[in-house]
Chains A and B, each alone.
Chain A
Amino acid sequence: MSFLPKNVRTRLTLWYVLALTFILIIYASVSISLVYINLRNNLDDQLQQDYEIVENLMRVMPDGSVKIESEDDPYFHERWFQIWSSDWKMLYESSPFTGKSLPSISREEESTSGFHFQSMQLNNNVRVRILSGKINIEGKWLFIRLVRSEERLWNELSGFIRLMLIALPIAIFIAGFGGYFLTKKFLSPIDEMTAKVRKIGEENLKERLPVINPDDELGNLAHVFNDMLERIQKSFERLKRFTSDAAHELRTPLTAIRSIGEVGLQDYKDAKHYREIIGSMLEENRRLTHLVDNLLFLSRADAKTLDKHLIKLELKSFTQETVEFIQALAEEKNQIIIIRAEKEITVIADRALLKQALLNLLDNAIKYSPENSEIIVSVDTEHNNAAFIEVKDNGPGIPEEHHEKIFERFYRVDKGRSREMGGSGLGLAIARWAVTAQGGKLTMESKTGEGSSFRITLTLT
């Protein structure tokens, strides 16, 4: 289809001009035929009237010749008619037309019982319409032939055709031209959108496309584009913040390593001192490594390159095992972890990912709950179609304003305190990802002073 013009507007115009031309040609042919038929019928009516007049005024003489009464009537001066006998002799011909000759009566004319119409081109290029009829006068068969020129018919018809030939191209031209401009008008929002989109880059992601008519298709398109831009802008901003947050987080251990090293080199000390310094640097290095491991995990999670191994998993025993795994940490703070699980619930899940999520939640609960408190882990079903594991702590709770952001990477409610406890600020982000990756949800409820509860919800199959 390479011969088609590239732009939609021209193509659209071309297509409907083509369609319009086709329709108009059919229309013209039909009307021309109708006009022709109509004109010819008129002519035939006139011939028939003439015939009746001739029939009435005709007298057959006893000698066999034919006489027309009132021959002088001017009516007959303009009429061309012939009367033939049944033995092919012309008995009469109206006077003014004798210069022209008609062919003899054909078999066809002869055999027709009623009227016979025919069109004919005479040798001087005159088109005529001939009406022939048979009458029986006093036992003798006579043929009457009436002739009228078709000149007027053809003049009128050719006039009509000429009109069509002029009017049709004009109509098509006007329609095409108008269509072209209409299309341009309708498609102009697309041009505007194109120009706008072309200008949108990473610096001005805030810009949106103009929505001219929100209800039509183009408005809808612009709307969809705007939604997409919104999402791109948001993820772009998230990415930017994440990068700067990550750099920030990396800075802390880097600063520590540097300071420890520089201060250590200030004086000459004994080997024990240097061992301490190196050990301390290695501890910071360890924090860095952890951070990088977590970041890698998340970036793999984002890129969806982490493999999932979905298996049938019984939540009650899984929860017991996981709690047991981390129990020692709670015991150090004299905290009791109570598991409330009435029944066995089997879900399809990735064991490692779910364990990671639950461990992160438990780790947080232990960290933020005071000594000698209780942490309640409930395993149950809800609405008959979902299972959940809920970890409820007795910590300080999370103020309302942080609820939205608590799952974001590097977000901390209390920055200084959390870092002191060895938190990377990625635990909940990782937990949420680990849960959503297997089709679940991680939600939180919390009120200041009343502790927080985090709930992993998985659909039952």
Chain B
Amino acid sequence: MNILVIEDEHKVAQALKEGLEHENYNVDLAHTGEDGFFLLNSEQYDLLVLDLMLPGRDGIEILKTVRKKKLSLPVLILTARDTVEDRVLGLDSGADDYLVKPFAFPELLARIRVLLRRGRENQTFQLQCANLKMDLIKRKVKRGENDIILTLREFDLLKYLLRHQDQIVSREMLATDVWKETNRATPIDNLIDVHIARLRRKIDDPFEIKLLHTVRGVGFIISEESP
């Protein structure tokens, strides 16, 4: 998978490149709109990560030209502005998704995965990690032979974690996707931590192998291996 990242801030660009390469993507970097445009015309990419505030040609302009040329690659925009108008402008200009800076890297990875997989979402009714099994139809959770009773919220939380198995999930992702809280000024970090702790008490505490791990400063991961 080839990804082009157009981002003028060198440190951020480098971090993105390294992080994405770690996930086995091929990454090209462009620091200006012109460079990025040149690369877009000469190479074949599967995804474009585009910063909106660029020197020279700005992101929206590039986005519009890309769409005018009928290039159909998915575009994820990064922006420091998160007013509704800015989002609408970005999406109207042909972006497929946006992330507001500062964003959590796991969230970027998750969004990229969704964009690259778009159209072939696999419908599963069973989620599993080691011997932890979740039946989405019967709404039942088992660890080995033991039934685990979860509240609605805990169930949703576990479902989300299992869907992103072996990937780090940030608090922002949980806030927007599980708690449906889009306002970043509403502090629900404590709430998330409490629910994670409860979930851990139910699915991990009685068992020897721990599945739900906290990655300090980043988020949570459900995985057989400790990160």
A: residues with CB less than 8 A from B are 275-276, 278-283, 285-286, 289-290, 293-294, 296-297, 300, 305, 307, 325-326, 328-329, 331-332, 352, 355-356, 359, 363, 422, 424, 427, 430
Contact = CB atoms under 8 A, between A and B. Distances in A.
B216 A276 contact: yes
Nearest to B84: A307
A286 B102 CA distance: 9
B24 to A, nearest CB: 22
B217 A290 contact: no
Nearest to A326: B191
Contact of A290 (B179, B187, B194, B216): B187
A328 B194 contact: yes
A293 B83 CA distance: 12
Contacts of B217: 278-283, 285-286
Given A282-B218, A285-B217, A328 B198 contact: yes
A279 B191 contact: no
Most buried by A among B153, B190, B215: B190
Given A279-B218, A286-B217, A329 B190 contact: yes
Contacts of B195: 328
Interface of B: 82-84, 102, 153, 171, 179, 183-191, 194-195, 198, 215-218
Nearest to B151: A328
Contacts of A363: 187, 190
Contacts of B188: 359
Given A280-B217, A286-B217, A332-B194, 15 more contacts: A279-B215, A279-B218, A281-B217, A283-B216, A283-B217, A305-B83, A325-B179, A326-B191, A328-B191, A328-B195, A328-B198, A329-B190, A329-B194, A355-B186, A424-B187
B190 A422 contact: yes
Given A282-B217, A285-B217, A329-B190, A356 B84 contact: no
Contacts of A297: 183-185
Contact of B216 (A279, A296, A359): A279
B185 A294 contact: yes
A289 B185 contact: no
Given A293-B185, A356-B186, A280 B191 contact: no
B49 to A, nearest CB: 20
Nearest to A278: B217
A282 B215 CA distance: 10
A356 B175 CA distance: 14
A286 B215 CA distance: 14
Nearest to B152: A324
A282 B188 CA distance: 17
B31 to A, nearest CB: 24
B19 to A, nearest CB: 13
Contacts of B190: 329, 363, 422
Contacts of A286: 171, 189, 217
Contacts of A305: 83
A283 B187 CA distance: 14
A257 to B, nearest CB: 11
20 contacts: A275-B216, A279-B217, A282-B217, A283-B217, A285-B102, A285-B217, A290-B189, A294-B185, A305-B83, A307-B84, A325-B191, A328-B191, A329-B190, A331-B194, A332-B194, A356-B183, A356-B185, A356-B186, A359-B188, A363-B187
Contact of A282 (B84, B153, B183, B216): B216
A283 B84 CA distance: 28
A331 B218 CA distance: 26
A328 B153 CA distance: 10
Contacts of A279: 215-218
The 9 A-B residue pairs with the shortest CB-CB distance, nearest first, are: A282-B217, A279-B216, A279-B217, A297-B185, A293-B184, A328-B194, A283-B217, A294-B185, A293-B185
Contacts of A290: 184, 187, 189
A355 B215 CA distance: 30
Nearest to B216: A279
A332 B191 CA distance: 10
Contacts of A285: 102, 217
Contacts of B84: 307
Contacts of B185: 293-294, 296-297, 356, 430
B176 to A, nearest CB: 13
